[in-house]
Amino acid sequence: MALEFVFWIAISVPLYAFLGYPVALLALRLAIRREVKKAPILPFVSLLIPAYNEARVIARKIENSLALEYPADRMEIVVVSDGSSDETVNFARQAGGVRVIALSRNRGKMAALNAAMPELRGEIVVFSDASAILAPDAVRRLVENFADLSVGAACGRYTVVQPHEVNIGASEDIYWNYEAFLKTQESRLGGTLGAHGHLHAIRKELYPFPPAETINDDYVIPLSVLARGFRAVHEPSAVVFEEAREMTGFQRRVRIVAGNLQQLREIRRLVTPFQPLALFFFLSHKVIRLFVPFAMLTAVAANLFLIQSQPYRSLFIAELVFYLLAAAGFSGRLYPRALRLPFYFCMVNSAAFFGLYHALTRRKGMAWK
């Protein structure tokens, strides 16, 4: 009985994290709905582009930024180079139409953002990574949310371009569409907790100047806004694109997990003053996912001890098929591409063990590059 209890608890963790939570959000929508009062406003905007050794993409990023459908006399474009050792600064200056802040040494993304903020003139600061390409109306759509005085931060919709160019591209596309759905539901209920570094914005007066060692700046910044009584909302029509090949690398996943572990300390912002709905989002969207990889291992181990029972034998076979598909997906040769989802799911969750190690040892190598 004890082993059965452990098994079903372990199984329920990933089931709730990825299936139960979306259902809970939809159920809450039946009773709660807080739409944002948007309007076509034109506050002065600072588009801040943090960059470290982005010579390959910085000219394209600046060209994209200059082509945005936002009045040129109502927006400044600022590139902050975090001690780049390549031609990032030179290429940015040659491109023209932007202001370049060249920091002398690489201290990490958060330190670069903190250093640049006092230099900005905008009422609204829009953050966008160098590898991201914005839809022409993305900034305008994002800014419309700030017509609602209760809104302190807003984020756009992340979209994967050419997902089939890399093995995990199609899986990443599915994942980010799923995340966009969750953020949209959270936003309509009151406010989403996190953003995406490729496109998010904040009222400058609310910028919290997080500690330099902060990893997930795009989570801590919107959460600080929420803690001060303002809303952080998701704007699906403000679209930002990134090519699938830009998101490859297991280390990227490890860094994300380390940041997720680090941001657990932010839970105090939701307890004092107590914000029950936001706390529910935090526990369901972020905290429980940290337990998923450990729950997966526990479920397999418990199932092995229960394998003499026919129902548990069938469940074990189902688990075995799942992990065999994950192993086969590593080769990238499975078709249809949906069969590669087990590999992506296992890859993302296996990063948790390395992320935990880095978070516990506080290794400086996790700083943004």
pLDDT tens per residue, range 104-129: 999 999 999 999 999 999 999 999 99
Residue 366: its pLDDT value, please?
Answer: 47
Distance CA 198, CA 218 (A): 9
Burial class of residue 184, CB neighbours in 10 A (0-12, 13-18, 19+): middle
Residue 365: its pLDDT value, please?
Answer: 47
Map tokens 């995406």 to a residue: 196
Distance CA 7, CA 333 (A): 32
Per DSSP, the residues of 305-326 read HTTTSHHHHHHHHHHHHHHHHH
Amino acid letter, 137: D
Residue 82: its pLDDT value, please?
Answer: 95
| Residue 321 in this model has a pLDDT that exceeds 50 | yes
Six-digit token pair at 103?
């920091």
pLDDT tens per residue, range 211-255: 988 888 888 899 889 888 899 999 999 999 987 655 556 677 777
Burial class of residue 35, CB neighbours in 10 A (0-12, 13-18, 19+): exposed
332 pLDDT tier (thresholds 50, 70, 90): low
- Average pLDDT rounded to a whole number, residues 341-363: 79
- Contact yes or no for 126/198 (Cβ under 8 A): no
pLDDT tens per residue, range 160-215: 776 555 556 677 778 888 988 999 999 989 888 888 889 999 999 999 999 988 88
- H helix or E strand, kind and range, residue 294: helix 288-305
Residue 248: its pLDDT value, please?
Answer: 58
Residue 347: its pLDDT value, please?
Answer: 86
Distance CA 53, CA 275 (A): 40
- Overall size of the chain counted in residues: 369
Q: Which domains does the chain have, with CATH numbers?
A: 2-17+282-366 (no CATH), 45-248 (3.90.550.10)
pLDDT tens per residue, range 38-79: 999 999 999 999 999 999 999 999 999 999 999 999 999 999
Q: Closest Cα to residue 348, out of 22, 18, 16, 108?
A: 18
Distance CA 362, CA 366 (A): 8
Six-digit token pair at 216?
């997930």
Strand order in the sheet with 200-203: 99-103, 75-82, 45-51, 124-127, 200-203, 151-161, 231-243, 133-134
Q: What angle do CA 212, 84, 354 make, to 5 degrees?
A: 55
pLDDT tens per residue, range 278-305: 899 999 998 999 899 999 999 999 999 9
Residue 119: its pLDDT value, please?
Answer: 95
353 pLDDT tier (thresholds 50, 70, 90): confident
As a whole-number percent, the residues of the chain with pLDDT over 70 amount to 91
3-state secondary structure 154-193: EEEEEEEECHHHCCCHHHHHHHHHHHHHHHHHHHHHCCCC
pLDDT tens per residue, range 135-157: 999 999 999 999 999 999 999 99
Q: What angle do CA 140, 142, 145 make, to 5 degrees?
A: 110
**pTM for this entry:** 0.86
Distance CA 282, CA 276 (A): 10
